[in-house]
Homo-oligomer: A and B are copies of this chain.
């Protein structure tokens, strides 16, 4: 396995830092190759701006079109090209981050905003009245697998089916489906640690064991069964799920899973 770990936490001596370190040693000891994008250590620039697109940037700036032109002409900035190369190299991508305000920290969102350019992660394949691109199960990153490893401050019940925060699967849907499945990545069920502010040294051995288990079984873990766009489940061109495909009573984000 060739694994890229994208890690976003400002403190190396944090639970997130420990989980990242454990992932590296566990995977390497099992004979896998590992690359790490430690966004804080890299001083990753989080903000999209015209300088990202070099000579391809137009005035006024148009983010989608200009990022696609820079991608096509190989003139994206070296930091972005390096991340795209890591994604193409990897067969497995692990994202390690804390849930801040129910989603990823800004530095990681900025990694997505800058690395997932037009023609690389979106705007891939024919876009016409009868076809709306290769996406949601197809695309540049198809054949790869990803896993979110996240820590959440609140207790698990707050993220349960009736919990006040909303169900964790729904909170992660815009990332797992909207960011990862979109360019073709198969997404494994997430590894979530709740009540992270109350996790002490005495709790760590059990958590570490559970994380190692997940890491050593990535190959055999079934991905989330998101529906693919171009294989008959969606009407064209509305891209609405065809009537009657879902289990009775299923609605919302859950419609888009088999």
Contact = CB atoms under 8 A, between A and B. Distances in A.
Interface string A102-126: 1111110110110010000000000
A12 to B, nearest CB: 8
A69 interface: no
Interface stretch (A75-83, A184-192, A249-257): A249-257
Interface in A23-57: 40, 46-50
Contacts of A60: 11-14
A153 B62 contact: no
Contacts of A173: 166, 170
A202 to B, nearest CB: 18
A241 B162 CA distance: 5
A63 interface: yes
Contacts of A106: 46-48, 106-107, 109-110, 112-113
Interface residues of A, number: 65
A3 interface: no
A86 to B, nearest CB: 18
Most chain-B Cβ atoms within 10 A of its Cβ — which of A62, A170, A256? A170
Interface of A: 10-14, 40, 46-50, 60-64, 98, 100-107, 109-110, 112-113, 116, 136, 153, 155, 157-158, 160-167, 170-171, 173-174, 177-179, 197, 229, 234, 237-241, 249, 251-256
25 contacts: A10-B47, A11-B62, A12-B60, A13-B60, A40-B47, A46-B46, A47-B105, A47-B106, A47-B110, A103-B109, A105-B113, A106-B107, A106-B109, A106-B110, A106-B112, A106-B113, A107-B110, A109-B109, A158-B238, A158-B239, A163-B238, A163-B240, A164-B229, A165-B178, A166-B253
Given A106-B110, A249-B251, 14 more contacts: A46-B47, A48-B100, A63-B100, A64-B197, A101-B112, A101-B116, A102-B178, A103-B109, A106-B113, A165-B178, A167-B252, A167-B253, A251-B252, A252-B253
